[in-house]
Structure formats: structure tokens, C-alpha cells
Structure 1
């Protein structure tokens, strides 16, 4: 290992960051503490002015640049949160910056980046993933002799993120047994490892990734930093095809465990946090809480910190979040239903096939006059997963059943 974050450097970063970022709260979650029989604390990194911890590393790095580097300007690539941290730093330090973001970045994150950067930042939308944007940003950076501000694989960025760990130890004087941290590129996890390895080596740090973008977990299993050929981009704040070389080396040695969580479970966690705790988080911000179920027996009677990494959620994504949560919970099901071409067939389906608590949420009918049965794509929301099998049996017994789409992902995505 050629680099490991040191306590003196992280403490120096804390002094630098104090110019623009206040200490974020550490709050007990009564609901989660009761649910898991543990002392569950939430580190509210979602409450920064840019609504994520990324301001720490971005500002620490950019503030370290020489006058010559500042004059030439900087470039970065980001799925959203690092972009906002960089934009804020550019505006605060009066440095020209060019921010590359994937074309699929939620509109809210793009607008926030422009707002924080003002006249000092130009936003360029390029590619479908962070990795696509990063390649374009690096090419632009090299051809224009500017400084690239990496979102995670940079010592100054890692040290900036490590200040979260210093705050935790100041805020909670008793031993912390477990820390759950979201992993995208691994910068925050690496910074935490730097702090806790020296100051609280008994603390177990658990990294959490989306199931559809397991770049760190795959790399640790392969014992080599591995680029994924394809990822699910839904949890954009933690979806990278390849983690950093520095962060991989640090996390490989310093993480107690590295786990993944299904995107649908993350969506249900987002809804629970909003409806039950009045906390708004983005998908990456909910990863750590979504992972607690897998450690329920291990964390009982322990002190657990979940880092809520960000709250840059776009309200236009709410419908998709709810849909993914229902699909994960096996409460939303899609079928091809074959309706007999006779009057009253739909009425019969609603009255006699659907259960008393079943609800049709999607209906797309295609009548073919030359066929005895006309197919329709029907989405049905159930009250309980146990209601599915009786529903299917009633459909088959009455000749309405055509096909079940949930377990056919290619067909499902095409039709629904």
C-alpha cells in the first residue's frame, strides 16, 4: 500500500473544511434502536449546505491547489454530489471549474450544481454513467492543462471525507461498535478507516453498495481492482463501474465487511425514512440503514452508526422509488391477462378473480378481433405477498391467465 490517510492530515483537513462546513448532527433513531435492540445513531451528512458529505473532500482538495493551478482552473466528473461540492468550492474560492455529469443525472442535482457554482462553473452533460463522464472530463482536462478533482481516489479528498470520523469520536465519547458507510468509489470509507484504525481500532466498519453496482465487493472478492462491464445506475450516488486504486487498497485491508443491498430494499428504506422519520434522503443516503437487517443478530445491544450520506433526491423519482419498493416487497405484480372477447369479461375479472384487497394499478388492453381471447398487460397491487398464489390460481381456473412478467426482466422492461 503506497498511501494511507494519517490522523495529522485529517485533522489539518478539518481546520480547512471549517471555513465552509459546520459539524453535522449525530442523532439517535428511536425507531431503529427499538427495531434492532441496539443504540442506532444517524450521522446526518445529508444536512450540509450542499446536502452531502462531498463538500468535505472537494473543498479540502481544491483549497490545497497552488496559485498557478487555481489560475488554470479545475475539472471534475460526478453523478451529482461531488459536483455540488466542487461547484460550491469554486464559487467560494473564485476558481473557474468545468463539471462533467452523466446525461441521466437527476435534474435536481444538475440545477443545484449550477446554482452553487454560479458564474464560476460550467456544467457539461456527457455519457450514461459516471465512468463515461470521467473519461470525457479527463480528456478535456489534459488538453486544456487544468487540474482534475477526483471524486474519491485522491489523498486530499480522502482526508477531507475522513473528518466525518473525527466528528463522530468527538460527538460520541463511548465506544462505537459498528459503522455502516455507503461505498461508491470508496473515499468516505477510506477516510473513516484512516481515523478508526488508529483512534478506535475495535470499531467495525461495514461498507454497503447497491446490488446492481457491486464494484468494491467484486474487487475485494477478486483481490484486484475490477471494472464492472455493466451496472444499474438507479442509485446514482453509489454506482461506479470501478472504485479507486487508493480506496480499494485501503478498504481491502480496513473494512470489517463489504455487503450489497437490493435497489428495491433501498427504495422501501427511503419511503420509511420519509413517512416515519420525516427524513429525506437520496438512494445512496439510505444504503446504510437498508443494510441493518442483514446484521440484526450481530448488532443487538451494540452501538451502531449509520452515515446518511446525502439528501439530493429528485421528487420526480418518487413514482419509480415507490414502484421499485413494491416490486421488491412482492406487492406489485404484472401479468398478461387473456380476456374473452365477450361483454362482461372485465367485470367478471374484477368481481370474481381479484381479491377483496387487490387493486389494478396498470391496464393496457390490445383487442385483436381475430382472436378468441384479447391480451392485456395488467398491474396488480396486493395487500400481502401471500395473496399472489391464490390470485394466480383463480386466474388459471377461469382461463384468464396468460403469463407472469415480474420474473421475465427483458420482457418486463419492454412491456411495462
Structure 2
């Protein structure tokens, strides 16, 4: 039995009316760990357990670590998650509720990652947040569900952090006869490694992450995400933090669901009617979820963004 659930696929009448397109939402925020990460990471954890893993080790500032913690509890496998000092208390508490051992180490995700690798023993499996073919295969199940439901959108909109979701979506499209469906890859300014890499034609590593959408904060995307851009129509859109926060608040008003700005930036591409989406009749947005925000937190971020203007 897979660790993820089949999430709701709904047409948003409120957003559709606002933008003049048929907007469909794949509600990955409904996954047990609160984000799409449950799909790929859950699948990878099950596979590593079959291969003999006795413990899962991960480094994360949020959603990936929580997905590993959830998988470990469900599979009765001990989990250690290394988080940087910047990790929120909310994320740490949620991981602890899943019975994970959480260690705070390092000022950045890179430092947490290096420390996590130093703990590895022969019977351990390191669960990468996004750069693992097993994770992509798990994420691809999202597209399987969409096609089983009979929906073939004109375009798919998703957020990009490290590129794991993007790779899974492309893999899912290929195996479901959807290789002709373009993907709009959305990032926030200051966390746009993928957009910069697409423009350059090679991987670009950011010096730092300056966006408030910290769960998009991979300084460099996985190589496969860039490789897929050479065989699939992928268009990059980069939007400011204020649009990501505004979209998260609009989505809360429209659907009563809290998503963090890392997810909100994909919704912002729709709410803001970006040029990349013009001409498409039916658009699917992957509402990737995330546990990093509450309604109060979004309101506070909105105030901060207004003060910064």
C-alpha cells in the first residue's frame, strides 16, 4: 500500500472566473505530510527498505524532512533529520510528532547536508530531498491520477525548487502520452536557479537564497531537470516574493486552504495572468502544499512585503 494518497482534482470556479480560463487544481496539500513530497519520498523510502535499509537519514529545512519522518513512522524505520539553524520551530515540531530524531546543525542547508552524510552507516539510506530517480518515479504517480481522471490540460503550472517535482511530472507525462503538454516552471526571485540555468544552457548555482520562499531554496537544481528542458517544452517564469505571498492569501480566500509562498508562486502565475499562460484554455496547477506557513504567518509576510515597497 503506497504511503501517499490520491489527492483531489478540482476545477476552481472562483479562479477560473477571475482569469477567464478553466483552472484545475491538483491538491497535493492534502497529502499526509502536507505536501507532494510524500509521493516521491514515500516511494523511495519503501524501495530502500526493500533493499535492506535499517535507518533513514535526511537533511531538510521543512517539507522533505517531514515526508521522510512520516514515511519512517509508517514503515517502522528510525529516522534522523538534520535541519539548519534557519529551520522553523513549526517544521521541527511536526517532524518530532512523526517520531523523528531532529538534530539542528549548521547555518545553511549545505552544512546540514554535509553533517547528515557524516552520520551515514552501511545500513542507512540517505533520502535526498529531490535528486533521486526513485523520487521522480514516485512523483510521476500524480500525473497517472490526472490522466485516469480523464483530464488532459493544455498546460501544467508548478513550482520549482530543486527540480524533483518537475522531473516527476515530465516522467509521468511521457508514460501517459502527454509529452506534448507544456510545463510552466515557476520560481521566486532569489531562488531561481532553474530559470538562470535554462537561460544559460548549463547549471547555475546561486551564491545564496534571498527569497522568503525558503522551501524553494535549492542553490542548484538537479541535472535531470535541465536535461528534460532539451526534450520537453518547459518555460520558466520568475516572480517576486510579494506575488507569491499575495497569491497564497488569495487562495486562502478562494478555497480556505493555507499554502506557503513556495506553493503560492505557482498560483501567482495564474492569478497574475502571466504571458506564458496566454492562449491556453485548460490549465492545471499543482498545488504542492507545504507546512511552512499559517494564515497568521501569511498576513505577517504580506505586511513585511508592503513595508519593503
Please, what TM-score do these two structures have when normalized by structure 2?
0.91
Q: Equivalent residue for 2:192?
A: 214
> SS in structure 2 opposite 1:111?
helix
Q: CA deviation at 1:59?
A: 1.3
Take 2:46 and 2:143, find their aligned partners in 1: how far apart are those partners? 21
Take 1:103 and 1:255, find their aligned partners in 2: how far apart are those partners? 38
Q: Equivalent residue for 2:77?
A: 95
Cα shift readout 1:134-169 (whole Å, capped 9, x = no counterpart): 22222322x676321111110100111111111111
Answer yes or no: is the 8 Å Cα contact 2:259–2:293 preserved in 1: no
Q: How many residues align?
A: 306
Take 1:174 and 1:246, find their aligned partners in 2: how far apart are those partners? 26
Answer yes or no: is the 8 Å Cα contact 1:207–1:259 preserved in 2: yes
| Residues 69-218 of structure 1 mapped to structure 2, 5 A cutoff | 69-71=52-54, 73-116=55-98, 118=99, 121-141=100-120, 146-171=124-149, 173-198=150-175, 199-218=177-196
Answer yes or no: is 1:321 the counterpart of 2:301: yes
For the structure 1 residues 253 and 77, does the alpha-carbon distance in structure 2 shift closer, same or farther, using more than 3 Å as the test? farther
For the structure 1 residues 40 and 259, does the alpha-carbon distance in structure 2 shift closer, same or farther, using more than 3 Å as the test? same
Q: Equivalent residue for 2:286?
A: 307
Take 1:289 and 1:114, find their aligned partners in 2: how far apart are those partners? 30
| Residues 5-20 of structure 1 mapped to structure 2, 5 A cutoff | 18-20=1-3
Take 1:68 and 1:20, find their aligned partners in 2: how far apart are those partners? 17
| Residues 369-388 of structure 1 mapped to structure 2, 5 A cutoff | none
Alignment equivalent of 2:20, drawn from 22, 27, 37:
37
Q: Which has the higher contact order (CA 8 A, sep 6+)?
A: 2
Q: CA deviation at 1:249?
A: 2.0
Please, what TM-score do these two structures have when normalized by structure 1?
0.69
Farther-moved stretch of structure 1 (307-316 vs 107-116): 307-316
Query: Rg larger in 1 or in 2?
Result: 1
Answer yes or no: is the 8 Å Cα contact 1:131–1:241 preserved in 2: no
Q: CA deviation at 1:283?
A: 1.3
Q: CA deviation at 1:226?
A: 1.9
| Residues 269-284 of structure 1 mapped to structure 2, 5 A cutoff | 269-284=247-262
Gaps of at least 5 residues in structure 1 are: 1-17, 334-405, 407-416
Q: CA deviation at 1:298?
A: 4.2
Answer yes or no: is the 8 Å Cα contact 2:189–2:211 preserved in 1: no
Q: CA RMSD in A?
A: 2.1
Answer yes or no: is the 8 Å Cα contact 2:105–2:115 preserved in 1: yes
Take 2:10 and 2:290, find their aligned partners in 1: how far apart are those partners? 16
Q: Equivalent residue for 2:4?
A: 21
Q: CA deviation at 1:80?
A: 0.8
> SS in structure 2 opposite 1:234?
coil
Q: CA deviation at 1:74?
A: 2.0
Take 1:211 and 1:34, find their aligned partners in 2: how far apart are those partners? 28
Q: Equivalent residue for 1:11?
A: none
Q: CA deviation at 1:77?
A: 1.2
Q: CA deviation at 1:248?
A: 2.8
For the structure 1 residues 68 and 288, does the alpha-carbon distance in structure 2 shift closer, same or farther, using more than 3 Å as the test? closer
For the structure 1 residues 156 and 296, does the alpha-carbon distance in structure 2 shift closer, same or farther, using more than 3 Å as the test? same
Alignment equivalent of 1:258, drawn from 231, 236, 242:
236
Which aligned segments of 4 or more residues in structure 1 are displaced greater than 6 angstroms?
Answer: none
